[in-house]
Amino acid sequence: MSIQTSVPQIDEGVRATPTHSLPIAGLLALAMTGFIAILTETLPAGLLPEISRGLTVPEAWAGQLVTLYALGSVAAAIPLTAATRSWSRRTVLLLAIALFFVFNTVTALSSWYWLTLVARFMAGVAAGITWGLVPGYSRRMVAVHLQGRAMAIALVGTPIALALGVPAGTWLGDLLGWRAAFGVMSALTVVLVFWVLWKAPNLPGQQKGEGPSVVDVFLTPGVRPVLFVILAWMLAHNILYTYIAPFLVPAHMTQGIDAVLLVFGLAAIVGIWITGTLIDRWLRTLVLASLAVFSLASAALAVDGTLPLVVYFAVASWGLTFGGAATLLQTASADAAGEGADTAQSMIVTVWNAAIAGGGLVGGILLDTTGVGAMAWVLLALLVVALFIAWRSSAHAFKPGRRAEA
Protein backbone atom coordinates (compact mmCIF):
# COMPACT_ATOMS: atom_id res chain seq x y z
CA MET A 1 0.00 0.00 0.00
CA SER A 2 1.65 3.22 -1.10
CA ILE A 3 0.84 6.54 0.55
CA GLN A 4 0.31 9.41 -1.83
CA THR A 5 1.38 12.96 -1.09
CA SER A 6 -2.22 14.06 -1.63
CA VAL A 7 -3.30 12.59 1.71
CA PRO A 8 -4.82 15.46 3.72
CA GLN A 9 -2.70 16.95 6.49
CA ILE A 10 -4.04 16.77 10.02
CA ASP A 11 -1.74 19.34 11.57
CA GLU A 12 1.45 21.14 10.83
CA GLY A 13 4.36 18.75 11.07
CA VAL A 14 2.34 15.69 10.05
CA ARG A 15 3.94 14.23 6.94
CA ALA A 16 2.47 11.75 4.47
CA THR A 17 5.34 10.90 2.14
CA PRO A 18 7.07 7.54 2.75
CA THR A 19 10.86 7.34 2.67
CA HIS A 20 12.95 5.27 0.28
CA SER A 21 15.30 4.12 3.04
CA LEU A 22 14.58 2.28 6.28
CA PRO A 23 14.07 4.69 9.24
CA ILE A 24 15.70 2.28 11.67
CA ALA A 25 15.31 4.37 14.83
CA GLY A 26 11.61 4.98 14.23
CA LEU A 27 10.97 1.32 13.43
CA LEU A 28 12.84 0.24 16.56
CA ALA A 29 10.58 2.53 18.61
CA LEU A 30 7.66 0.48 17.30
CA ALA A 31 9.58 -2.72 18.09
CA MET A 32 10.13 -1.50 21.65
CA THR A 33 6.39 -0.87 22.01
CA GLY A 34 5.73 -4.43 20.88
CA PHE A 35 8.39 -5.71 23.29
CA ILE A 36 6.61 -3.99 26.18
CA ALA A 37 3.24 -5.34 25.02
CA ILE A 38 4.48 -8.95 24.91
CA LEU A 39 6.38 -8.66 28.18
CA THR A 40 3.35 -7.09 29.90
CA GLU A 41 1.22 -9.98 28.64
CA THR A 42 3.51 -12.85 29.60
CA LEU A 43 5.26 -11.60 32.75
CA PRO A 44 2.60 -12.89 35.21
CA ALA A 45 2.99 -16.45 33.87
CA GLY A 46 6.51 -16.66 35.29
CA LEU A 47 5.61 -14.99 38.59
CA LEU A 48 2.29 -16.63 39.51
CA PRO A 49 3.34 -17.90 42.97
CA GLU A 50 4.68 -14.47 43.98
CA ILE A 51 1.63 -12.64 42.60
CA SER A 52 -0.66 -15.13 44.32
CA ARG A 53 0.99 -14.44 47.67
CA GLY A 54 1.12 -10.69 47.07
CA LEU A 55 -2.60 -10.44 46.31
CA THR A 56 -3.57 -13.22 48.76
CA VAL A 57 -5.48 -15.22 46.16
CA PRO A 58 -5.04 -18.79 44.82
CA GLU A 59 -2.65 -19.26 41.89
CA ALA A 60 -5.58 -20.11 39.63
CA TRP A 61 -7.03 -16.68 40.35
CA ALA A 62 -3.65 -15.03 39.79
CA GLY A 63 -3.57 -16.76 36.41
CA GLN A 64 -6.59 -14.73 35.38
CA LEU A 65 -4.28 -11.72 35.07
CA VAL A 66 -3.18 -13.26 31.77
CA THR A 67 -6.77 -14.00 30.75
CA LEU A 68 -7.99 -10.45 31.41
CA TYR A 69 -5.11 -9.03 29.39
CA ALA A 70 -6.08 -11.17 26.39
CA LEU A 71 -9.74 -10.20 26.78
CA GLY A 72 -8.79 -6.52 26.80
CA SER A 73 -6.92 -6.98 23.53
CA VAL A 74 -9.83 -8.82 21.93
CA ALA A 75 -12.37 -6.24 23.10
CA ALA A 76 -10.35 -3.20 22.04
CA ALA A 77 -8.66 -4.12 18.78
CA ILE A 78 -11.41 -3.61 16.22
CA PRO A 79 -13.50 -0.80 17.79
CA LEU A 80 -10.55 1.32 18.94
CA THR A 81 -8.67 0.88 15.68
CA ALA A 82 -11.79 2.12 13.87
CA ALA A 83 -12.35 4.96 16.36
CA THR A 84 -8.79 6.27 16.07
CA ARG A 85 -8.41 5.75 12.32
CA SER A 86 -8.53 9.51 11.66
CA TRP A 87 -5.92 10.35 14.32
CA SER A 88 -2.27 10.83 13.46
CA ARG A 89 -0.39 7.56 13.84
CA ARG A 90 2.08 8.92 16.36
CA THR A 91 -0.74 10.20 18.58
CA VAL A 92 -2.33 6.75 18.67
CA LEU A 93 1.03 5.16 19.47
CA LEU A 94 1.60 7.59 22.34
CA LEU A 95 -1.89 6.81 23.65
CA ALA A 96 -1.07 3.10 23.77
CA ILE A 97 2.25 3.76 25.51
CA ALA A 98 0.55 6.02 28.06
CA LEU A 99 -1.98 3.28 28.84
CA PHE A 100 0.86 0.80 29.40
CA PHE A 101 2.50 3.28 31.78
CA VAL A 102 -0.65 3.95 33.79
CA PHE A 103 -1.88 0.39 34.14
CA ASN A 104 1.49 -1.29 34.66
CA THR A 105 2.02 1.26 37.43
CA VAL A 106 -1.38 0.42 38.92
CA THR A 107 -0.50 -3.29 38.74
CA ALA A 108 2.80 -2.62 40.52
CA LEU A 109 1.13 -0.66 43.33
CA SER A 110 -2.27 -2.32 43.76
CA SER A 111 -2.97 -4.51 46.77
CA TRP A 112 -6.53 -5.26 45.63
CA TYR A 113 -7.07 -8.23 43.37
CA TRP A 114 -10.07 -6.79 41.53
CA LEU A 115 -8.33 -3.48 40.86
CA THR A 116 -5.38 -5.44 39.49
CA LEU A 117 -7.71 -7.35 37.17
CA VAL A 118 -9.12 -4.07 35.85
CA ALA A 119 -5.59 -2.76 35.33
CA ARG A 120 -4.67 -5.91 33.41
CA PHE A 121 -7.76 -5.61 31.22
CA MET A 122 -6.85 -2.01 30.40
CA ALA A 123 -3.23 -2.96 29.71
CA GLY A 124 -4.70 -5.47 27.25
CA VAL A 125 -6.64 -2.61 25.66
CA ALA A 126 -3.29 -0.86 25.14
CA ALA A 127 -1.97 -4.00 23.47
CA GLY A 128 -5.03 -4.16 21.22
CA ILE A 129 -4.34 -0.60 20.08
CA THR A 130 -0.64 -1.41 19.62
CA TRP A 131 -1.09 -4.47 17.44
CA GLY A 132 -3.80 -2.77 15.39
CA LEU A 133 -1.42 0.12 14.73
CA VAL A 134 2.20 -1.05 14.50
CA PRO A 135 2.10 -3.10 11.27
CA GLY A 136 0.31 -0.44 9.24
CA TYR A 137 2.37 2.37 10.78
CA SER A 138 5.65 0.66 9.88
CA ARG A 139 4.50 0.01 6.30
CA ARG A 140 3.49 3.62 5.83
CA MET A 141 6.91 4.89 6.89
CA VAL A 142 8.55 3.51 3.75
CA ALA A 143 8.09 2.97 0.04
CA VAL A 144 6.27 -0.18 -1.06
CA HIS A 145 9.36 -2.24 -1.88
CA LEU A 146 10.64 -1.79 1.69
CA GLN A 147 7.40 -2.53 3.52
CA GLY A 148 8.15 -6.16 4.32
CA ARG A 149 11.54 -5.37 5.83
CA ALA A 150 10.12 -2.39 7.72
CA MET A 151 7.45 -4.58 9.29
CA ALA A 152 10.02 -7.25 10.18
CA ILE A 153 12.04 -4.66 12.12
CA ALA A 154 8.94 -3.21 13.79
CA LEU A 155 7.86 -6.68 14.97
CA VAL A 156 11.27 -7.90 16.15
CA GLY A 157 10.31 -7.03 19.73
CA THR A 158 8.01 -10.08 19.90
CA PRO A 159 10.60 -12.87 19.59
CA ILE A 160 13.12 -10.90 21.66
CA ALA A 161 10.55 -10.54 24.45
CA LEU A 162 9.76 -14.25 24.29
CA ALA A 163 13.41 -15.31 24.11
CA LEU A 164 15.06 -12.88 26.51
CA GLY A 165 12.51 -10.52 28.05
CA VAL A 166 10.34 -13.10 29.80
CA PRO A 167 13.25 -14.96 31.47
CA ALA A 168 14.84 -11.61 32.44
CA GLY A 169 11.53 -10.32 33.83
CA THR A 170 11.03 -13.53 35.80
CA TRP A 171 14.58 -13.29 37.15
CA LEU A 172 14.01 -9.65 38.14
CA GLY A 173 10.72 -10.55 39.80
CA ASP A 174 12.40 -13.33 41.78
CA LEU A 175 15.22 -10.99 42.78
CA LEU A 176 13.32 -7.79 43.65
CA GLY A 177 9.68 -8.87 43.73
CA TRP A 178 6.96 -9.01 41.10
CA ARG A 179 5.88 -5.42 41.75
CA ALA A 180 9.38 -4.19 40.90
CA ALA A 181 9.21 -6.05 37.59
CA PHE A 182 6.06 -4.16 36.61
CA GLY A 183 7.65 -0.93 37.88
CA VAL A 184 10.57 -1.45 35.51
CA MET A 185 8.07 -1.86 32.67
CA SER A 186 6.54 1.51 33.56
CA ALA A 187 9.99 3.12 33.58
CA LEU A 188 10.67 1.73 30.11
CA THR A 189 7.49 3.37 28.79
CA VAL A 190 8.68 6.79 29.99
CA VAL A 191 11.88 6.38 27.99
CA LEU A 192 9.84 5.14 25.04
CA VAL A 193 7.66 8.28 24.97
CA PHE A 194 10.71 10.48 24.36
CA TRP A 195 12.05 8.02 21.80
CA VAL A 196 8.76 8.12 19.85
CA LEU A 197 8.59 11.93 19.96
CA TRP A 198 12.17 12.07 18.72
CA LYS A 199 12.21 9.47 15.96
CA ALA A 200 8.73 8.22 15.00
CA PRO A 201 7.33 10.12 11.99
CA ASN A 202 4.02 11.90 12.52
CA LEU A 203 1.95 10.27 9.78
CA PRO A 204 -1.71 11.25 9.23
CA GLY A 205 -4.65 8.97 9.78
CA GLN A 206 -7.52 8.54 7.36
CA GLN A 207 -10.16 11.20 7.12
CA LYS A 208 -13.59 10.28 8.49
CA GLY A 209 -15.58 8.42 5.87
CA GLU A 210 -12.39 7.48 4.04
CA GLY A 211 -11.47 3.85 3.66
CA PRO A 212 -13.60 0.68 3.70
CA SER A 213 -15.77 -0.43 6.60
CA VAL A 214 -15.02 -3.42 8.83
CA VAL A 215 -17.49 -5.57 6.88
CA ASP A 216 -16.02 -4.46 3.55
CA VAL A 217 -12.51 -5.34 4.74
CA PHE A 218 -13.63 -8.74 6.01
CA LEU A 219 -15.23 -9.49 2.63
CA THR A 220 -12.18 -8.32 0.67
CA PRO A 221 -10.74 -11.26 -1.31
CA GLY A 222 -7.73 -12.71 0.48
CA VAL A 223 -8.48 -11.40 3.98
CA ARG A 224 -10.51 -14.38 5.20
CA PRO A 225 -7.97 -17.02 4.08
CA VAL A 226 -5.24 -15.14 5.93
CA LEU A 227 -7.39 -14.95 9.07
CA PHE A 228 -8.13 -18.68 8.88
CA VAL A 229 -4.44 -19.54 8.45
CA ILE A 230 -3.65 -17.33 11.47
CA LEU A 231 -6.28 -19.08 13.58
CA ALA A 232 -5.06 -22.60 12.74
CA TRP A 233 -1.33 -21.77 12.89
CA MET A 234 -1.50 -19.81 16.15
CA LEU A 235 -3.87 -22.31 17.77
CA ALA A 236 -1.25 -25.01 17.12
CA HIS A 237 1.52 -22.71 18.37
CA ASN A 238 -0.29 -21.81 21.59
CA ILE A 239 -1.23 -25.39 22.41
CA LEU A 240 2.46 -26.28 22.21
CA TYR A 241 3.75 -23.13 23.94
CA THR A 242 1.23 -23.29 26.80
CA TYR A 243 1.80 -26.99 27.45
CA ILE A 244 5.48 -27.29 26.59
CA ALA A 245 6.24 -28.72 30.06
CA PRO A 246 4.00 -31.81 29.55
CA PHE A 247 5.57 -32.31 26.12
CA LEU A 248 8.96 -32.61 27.82
CA VAL A 249 7.87 -35.32 30.28
CA PRO A 250 8.25 -38.31 27.90
CA ALA A 251 11.86 -37.24 27.20
CA HIS A 252 12.58 -36.65 30.93
CA MET A 253 13.47 -33.02 30.17
CA THR A 254 11.20 -31.13 32.57
CA GLN A 255 14.18 -29.84 34.56
CA GLY A 256 15.57 -28.28 31.38
CA ILE A 257 12.53 -26.25 30.34
CA ASP A 258 14.50 -22.98 30.52
CA ALA A 259 17.07 -24.34 28.06
CA VAL A 260 14.33 -25.61 25.75
CA LEU A 261 12.57 -22.22 25.70
CA LEU A 262 15.90 -20.49 25.12
CA VAL A 263 16.44 -22.67 22.04
CA PHE A 264 12.95 -21.73 20.89
CA GLY A 265 13.57 -18.02 21.39
CA LEU A 266 16.97 -17.95 19.72
CA ALA A 267 15.61 -19.88 16.74
CA ALA A 268 12.72 -17.40 16.57
CA ILE A 269 15.17 -14.49 16.32
CA VAL A 270 16.93 -16.26 13.44
CA GLY A 271 13.53 -16.81 11.84
CA ILE A 272 12.58 -13.15 11.90
CA TRP A 273 15.99 -12.20 10.45
CA ILE A 274 15.45 -14.63 7.56
CA THR A 275 11.94 -13.30 7.07
CA GLY A 276 13.06 -9.68 7.04
CA THR A 277 15.69 -10.49 4.43
CA LEU A 278 13.48 -12.48 2.06
CA ILE A 279 9.87 -11.42 2.63
CA ASP A 280 9.59 -8.89 -0.20
CA ARG A 281 10.67 -11.53 -2.74
CA TRP A 282 9.49 -14.81 -1.23
CA LEU A 283 6.48 -14.16 1.03
CA ARG A 284 4.41 -17.07 -0.29
CA THR A 285 7.36 -19.47 -0.21
CA LEU A 286 8.21 -18.48 3.36
CA VAL A 287 4.62 -19.03 4.55
CA LEU A 288 4.39 -22.46 2.93
CA ALA A 289 7.88 -23.47 4.11
CA SER A 290 7.15 -22.31 7.68
CA LEU A 291 3.94 -24.31 7.88
CA ALA A 292 5.63 -27.36 6.34
CA VAL A 293 8.58 -27.24 8.77
CA PHE A 294 6.31 -26.72 11.79
CA SER A 295 4.25 -29.69 10.55
CA LEU A 296 7.41 -31.77 10.38
CA ALA A 297 8.33 -30.74 13.93
CA SER A 298 4.86 -31.71 15.18
CA ALA A 299 5.10 -35.05 13.39
CA ALA A 300 8.48 -35.69 15.04
CA LEU A 301 6.96 -35.07 18.48
CA ALA A 302 4.03 -37.31 17.65
CA VAL A 303 6.15 -40.18 16.36
CA ASP A 304 8.92 -40.16 18.97
CA GLY A 305 8.94 -37.29 21.44
CA THR A 306 10.80 -39.44 23.96
CA LEU A 307 14.25 -38.62 22.58
CA PRO A 308 15.87 -35.33 23.71
CA LEU A 309 17.49 -34.93 20.29
CA VAL A 310 14.06 -35.13 18.63
CA VAL A 311 12.63 -32.64 21.10
CA TYR A 312 15.41 -30.12 20.51
CA PHE A 313 15.05 -30.54 16.74
CA ALA A 314 11.29 -29.98 16.99
CA VAL A 315 11.61 -26.94 19.28
CA ALA A 316 14.30 -25.33 17.11
CA SER A 317 12.21 -25.91 13.97
CA TRP A 318 9.11 -24.55 15.69
CA GLY A 319 10.95 -21.43 16.87
CA LEU A 320 12.47 -20.85 13.44
CA THR A 321 9.02 -20.85 11.84
CA PHE A 322 7.34 -18.80 14.57
CA GLY A 323 9.89 -15.96 14.49
CA GLY A 324 8.71 -14.64 11.15
CA ALA A 325 5.07 -15.70 11.44
CA ALA A 326 3.67 -12.36 12.60
CA THR A 327 5.52 -10.44 9.88
CA LEU A 328 4.51 -12.87 7.14
CA LEU A 329 0.85 -13.05 8.10
CA GLN A 330 0.38 -9.36 8.78
CA THR A 331 2.11 -8.44 5.54
CA ALA A 332 -0.10 -10.85 3.61
CA SER A 333 -3.17 -9.41 5.33
CA ALA A 334 -2.18 -5.81 4.64
CA ASP A 335 -1.40 -6.60 1.00
CA ALA A 336 -4.81 -8.23 0.56
CA ALA A 337 -6.73 -5.50 2.43
CA GLY A 338 -5.11 -2.50 0.70
CA GLU A 339 -6.61 0.71 2.09
CA GLY A 340 -8.29 -1.33 4.82
CA ALA A 341 -4.95 -2.61 6.14
CA ASP A 342 -5.28 -1.10 9.63
CA THR A 343 -8.76 -2.56 10.04
CA ALA A 344 -7.49 -5.93 8.84
CA GLN A 345 -4.69 -5.74 11.42
CA SER A 346 -7.26 -5.21 14.17
CA MET A 347 -9.04 -8.37 12.99
CA ILE A 348 -5.72 -10.20 13.24
CA VAL A 349 -5.37 -9.04 16.86
CA THR A 350 -8.81 -10.47 17.64
CA VAL A 351 -8.14 -13.79 15.92
CA TRP A 352 -4.62 -14.03 17.39
CA ASN A 353 -5.86 -13.54 20.95
CA ALA A 354 -8.72 -15.97 20.34
CA ALA A 355 -6.05 -18.49 19.36
CA ILE A 356 -4.16 -17.75 22.61
CA ALA A 357 -7.29 -18.42 24.66
CA GLY A 358 -8.22 -21.40 22.49
CA GLY A 359 -4.75 -22.91 22.83
CA GLY A 360 -5.07 -22.98 26.61
CA LEU A 361 -8.60 -24.38 26.47
CA VAL A 362 -8.14 -27.00 23.73
CA GLY A 363 -4.75 -28.06 25.02
CA GLY A 364 -6.08 -28.45 28.55
CA ILE A 365 -8.96 -30.64 27.37
CA LEU A 366 -6.62 -32.79 25.26
CA LEU A 367 -4.11 -33.13 28.09
CA ASP A 368 -6.80 -34.29 30.51
CA THR A 369 -8.48 -36.68 28.07
CA THR A 370 -5.97 -38.10 25.58
CA GLY A 371 -2.49 -37.05 26.72
CA VAL A 372 0.50 -35.42 25.06
CA GLY A 373 0.81 -37.92 22.22
CA ALA A 374 -2.62 -37.03 20.84
CA MET A 375 -1.90 -33.31 21.25
CA ALA A 376 1.02 -33.59 18.83
CA TRP A 377 -1.24 -35.18 16.21
CA VAL A 378 -3.78 -32.37 16.70
CA LEU A 379 -1.00 -29.84 16.08
CA LEU A 380 -0.13 -31.67 12.88
CA ALA A 381 -3.77 -31.71 11.72
CA LEU A 382 -4.17 -27.96 12.34
CA LEU A 383 -0.97 -27.16 10.47
CA VAL A 384 -1.81 -29.37 7.50
CA VAL A 385 -5.16 -27.59 7.15
CA ALA A 386 -3.43 -24.19 7.38
CA LEU A 387 -0.87 -25.30 4.80
CA PHE A 388 -3.62 -26.44 2.43
CA ILE A 389 -5.53 -23.12 2.74
CA ALA A 390 -2.34 -21.09 2.22
CA TRP A 391 -1.38 -23.19 -0.80
CA ARG A 392 -4.83 -22.79 -2.37
CA SER A 393 -4.98 -19.02 -1.68
CA SER A 394 -2.53 -17.80 -4.30
CA ALA A 395 -4.78 -15.33 -6.11
CA HIS A 396 -5.26 -12.76 -3.34
CA ALA A 397 -3.94 -13.90 0.05
CA PHE A 398 -0.49 -15.43 -0.51
CA LYS A 399 0.56 -14.29 -3.95
CA PRO A 400 3.62 -15.81 -5.64
CA GLY A 401 6.58 -13.73 -6.78
CA ARG A 402 8.07 -10.45 -5.64
CA ARG A 403 5.84 -7.95 -3.82
CA ALA A 404 5.00 -4.76 -5.75
CA GLU A 405 7.75 -2.19 -6.21
CA ALA A 406 7.18 1.49 -5.52
Residues 75-95 have pLDDT tens digits of: 888 888 888 888 999 999 999
Q: Are 70 and 185 in the same domain? A: yes
Measured distance CA(112)–CA(94) in Å, rounded: 28
Q: Angle of helix 341-369 relative to helix 223-242, nearest 10 degrees?
A: 40
Contact 334, 139 (CB under 8 A): yes
Q: What average pLDDT does the segment 34-61 reach?
A: 84
Say if 195 falls within a structural domain: yes
- What's the domain count of the chain? 2
Q: Which of 199, 224, 244 is the last residue of a domain?
A: 199
In which domain, by residue range, is 287 found?
A: 214-392
Flag whether pLDDT at 17 surpasses 60.
no
pLDDT of residue 4: 32
Say if 382 falls within a structural domain: yes
Q: Are 54 and 100 in the same domain? A: yes
Q: Are 58 and 118 in the same domain? A: yes
Distances (CA, A) of 394 to 66, 293, 332: 36, 20, 11
Q: Which of 199, 233, 267 is the last residue of a domain?
A: 199
- CATH code assigned at 90: 1.20.1250.20
pTM: predicted TM-score of the whole model, two decimal places: 0.76
What is the residue-averaged pLDDT of the chain? Answer: 84
pLDDT of residue 13: 45
Q: Are 30 and 171 in the same domain? A: yes
Say if 18 falls within a structural domain: no
Contact 73, 349 (CB under 8 A): yes
Instruction: Please list, in sequence order, all residues whose beta carbon lies within 8 angstroms of the beta carbon of residue 238, skipping any fewer than 6 positions away.
Output: 355, 356, 358, 359, 360, 363
Instruction: Note the Cα 69 to chain centre separation in Å.
Output: 13
Q: Tens of pLDDT along 140-183?
A: 898 887 887 888 788 888 777 866 776 777 778 878 889 999 99
Say if 41 falls within a structural domain: yes
- 8-state DSSP, 162: I
Flag whether pLDDT at 121 surpasses 90.
yes
What is the pLDDT confidence band of residue 406, given thresholds at 50, 70 and 90?
very low
- Taking alpha carbons only, the member of 193, 203, 199 closest to residue 17 is 203
What is the pLDDT confidence band of residue 11, given thresholds at 50, 70 and 90?
very low
Q: Which of 175, 199, 223 is the last residue of a domain?
A: 199
Contacts 24+ apart (CB under 8 A), 45-53: 45/166, 46/166, 46/167, 46/169, 46/170, 46/173, 47/169, 47/170, 47/173, 47/174, 47/178, 47/181, 50/173, 50/174, 50/177, 50/178, 51/178
Measured distance CA(86)–CA(84) in Å, rounded: 5
